[in-house]
Amino acid sequence: MTLYRSESHLAAMPRSMPTDHQRVPTVNRSLRRLTLPVLTLPFLVLFLCSGVSAERPNILFLFSDDHAIKSISAYGGPLAEVAPTPNIDRIARQGAVFTNSFCANSICGPSRATILTGKHSHKNGFMRNGNTFDPNQWTVAKSLQQGGYNTAVIGKWHLKTNPVGFDHWEIFPGQGSYYNPVFIQMDGSKQRFEGYATDLTTQKAINWLNERDKTKPFFLMCQHKAPHRTFSPAMRHLGSFDNAQIPEPETLFDDYYNRHPSLAKNEMEIDRHFDWAYDAKVRKDERGDVTLPKPDRYGTPEYNRMTPAQKKEWDAYFAPRNQRFLQEFATGKMSDQDVVRWKYRRYMRNYLSTVKAVDESVGRMLDYLDDNGLADNTIVIYSSDQGFFLGEHGWYDKRWMFEESFRMPFLIRWPNKVQAGSRPEQLIQNIDYAPTFLDIAGLETPEEVQGASLVPLFGKQPKPWRDSLYYAYYELGEHAVPQHFGVRTQNHKLIYFSKSDQWNLYDLKEDPNELRSVHDEQDYQAIRTALTDEFTRLRELYDAPPFPARAK
């Protein structure tokens, strides 16, 4: 499969085509073949001479769930001053922040399957959260384990079948819980641990590092539940952002005009779909005779898991604040927009508080490496399974190909290899993680893998790279978000809604908030044609399946 176009092909492209479409969109697999032996041979010599592959770098993969880049201060933006993430920023200062990092399918399980396999969802078989991951297929963990790495995954797994390719694993069932969570053990048993999920996951990761086989390099996936819904903070962080002036996004009250009609029909609005008890933490037993508008569907599963001492601490914080709100609401003086703004502030304070614990976890892991002499020979990566809407377009979830959920963080520290303080702008995707891990380890990447190693981008003079990305969302109407597919370049994005046979086109430079589709505008005809051709080419390249049947 050839991934770089020939010079003659490029020369034949129309002169009117915009700059960000003039280079090849995907990375050359032959380039990877040329690069890998150079990297692999020294490791092979070390392996043969020493009998142990200890000189190969360790890989520490720190992973969260639904972490929007706007809530990572290393990425900048209006939240950087309000809610800094100093420990994640340590990775950025000592390594690189990839500013154009994206997922292939913005939903939890599929993103994790993509990371393990280096393949788009339709190729690894995990297209929707309801699917079951096939443990018999190739994964990067299997290759690293077979290649001499001591491997472990701890925390959120979310793929239904048990992990394979790991010497040690301890995972949450399903989504896991924030308080006093259950961990599935390798013997199949389930054990409940008192405490906060982020803290427990971190401690278990450190315990494994202490007990691992130290004759081998390690590959550790430390994977948090946070900051996933229900955005439940550690008790020590309740009130951390009460005095912060959290900026309101420009699009909090988006009217969804001039875009696909499904945007207005979605079910992830802070206004109409943010549950009072489940999300906003206002329980029914606190409300007295005050009746709040819908929705109120899911109850308080996290509160129900707490110990009496935890509930006492929780109630001491939330109860008086909830009563003040209920009293104000009961006066009838709060407008609909006032209520939305209240829910938005409650949402953001809790979300940012869960991020605060994740950042502390990153600090603990980095300190462990320093204290144990491992920092110089350990690659540290921080990422998340996708982005998340923090009130943009009035939303609080993910799924869409719009920037807030399509983008995912990727920060990497590799002393003497990754340029400290660098901010690469190349378009990368989570299909690239697996081949990157293998390249780092000096191992060959199977032909079936669709991503490419990021190692050529780590130096001061990065190699040629792709200019476009393919996206596919396959969920069946969850949150009323339709299946949609698309292509993104540096400056433009084309989205296809297959069941209604409709297109949206966005000029990301002129319209970064994606408020106006220009698909039908005459001035964008050349760009529309080029992007449509590129979309078709990428679907052929990745062997994408036919679109679902169109609605009649």
Sheet strand arrangement including 492-497: 469-473, 484-488, 492-497, 502-507
Per-residue pLDDT tens over the stretch 104-140: 999 999 999 999 999 999 999 999 999 999 999 999 9
- Distance between CA atoms of 549 and 552, rounded to whole angstroms? 9
Residue 23 backbone phi and psi in degrees, to 5: -105, 170
pLDDT at 396 over 50: yes
At position 507, the amino acid (one-letter code) is D
CB of 231 closer than 8 Å to CB of 177: no
pLDDT value, residue 29? 41
Global confidence as pTM: 0.91
Confidence of residue 176 (pLDDT cuts 50, 70, 90): very high
Mean pLDDT of 32-51: 39
Average pLDDT, the chain: 91
Residue 280 backbone phi and psi in degrees, to 5: -85, -10
Per-residue pLDDT tens over the stretch 316-340: 999 999 999 999 999 999 999 999 9
Helices (H), 372-421: 403-406
The dihedral over CA atoms of 235, 241, 247, 253, expressed in degrees to the nearest 10, equals 40
The dihedral over CA atoms of 177, 180, 181, 183, expressed in degrees to the nearest 10, equals 170
pLDDT at 54 over 90: no
Residue 10 backbone phi and psi in degrees, to 5: -65, -40
Q: Of 500, 498, 489, 471, which Cα lies nearest the Cα of 530?
A: 489
pLDDT at 400 over 90: yes
pLDDT value, residue 548? 81
pLDDT value, residue 463? 81
As a whole-number percent, the residues of the chain with pLDDT over 70 amount to 89
pLDDT value, residue 55? 85
* Class of residue 178 by CB neighbours under 10 A (exposed 0-12, middle 13-18, buried 19+): buried
CA 506 to chain centre: 22
pLDDT value, residue 3? 38
Task: Output the 3-class SS for 440-495.
Answer: HHCCCCCCCCCCCCCHHHCCCCCCCCCCCEEEEECCCCHHHCCCEEEEECCCEEEE
pLDDT value, residue 459? 82
Mean pLDDT of 146-159: 98
Per-residue pLDDT tens over the stretch 59-81: 999 999 999 999 999 999 999 99
pLDDT at 42 over 50: no
pLDDT value, residue 14? 33
Q: Which CATH topology does 7-231+355-466 take?
A: Alkaline Phosphatase, subunit A (3.40.720)
pLDDT value, residue 345? 98
- Distance between CA atoms of 331 and 171, rounded to whole angstroms? 47
Confidence of residue 19 (pLDDT cuts 50, 70, 90): very low
Mean pLDDT of 169-183: 97
pLDDT at 441 over 70: yes
Q: Does domain 478-541 have CATH number 1.10.10.10?
A: no
Per-residue pLDDT tens over the stretch 357-380: 999 999 999 999 999 999 999 999
* Class of residue 235 by CB neighbours under 10 A (exposed 0-12, middle 13-18, buried 19+): middle
Q: Of 70, 129, 127, 77, which Cα lies nearest the Cα of 104?
A: 127
CA 453 to chain centre: 18
* Class of residue 498 by CB neighbours under 10 A (exposed 0-12, middle 13-18, buried 19+): middle
Confidence of residue 550 (pLDDT cuts 50, 70, 90): low
- Distance between CA atoms of 63 and 201, rounded to whole angstroms? 11
Name the β-bridge partners of 171. 155, 184
pLDDT at 28 over 50: no
Between residues 456 and 552, the one the model is more confident about: 456
* Structure tokens, 444: 């060959």
CATH 3.40.720.10 residue ranges of the chain are 7-231+355-466
pLDDT at 189 over 90: yes
Q: For the chain, how many helices (H) and strands (E)?
A: 13, 15
CATH 3.30.1120.10 residue ranges of the chain are 478-541
pLDDT at 87 over 50: yes
Cα separations in angstroms, 358 against 62, 200, 231, 411:
10, 11, 12, 15
pLDDT value, residue 462? 76
As a whole-number percent, the residues of the chain with pLDDT over 90 amount to 88
pLDDT at 32 over 90: no
pLDDT at 10 over 70: no
pLDDT value, residue 282? 98
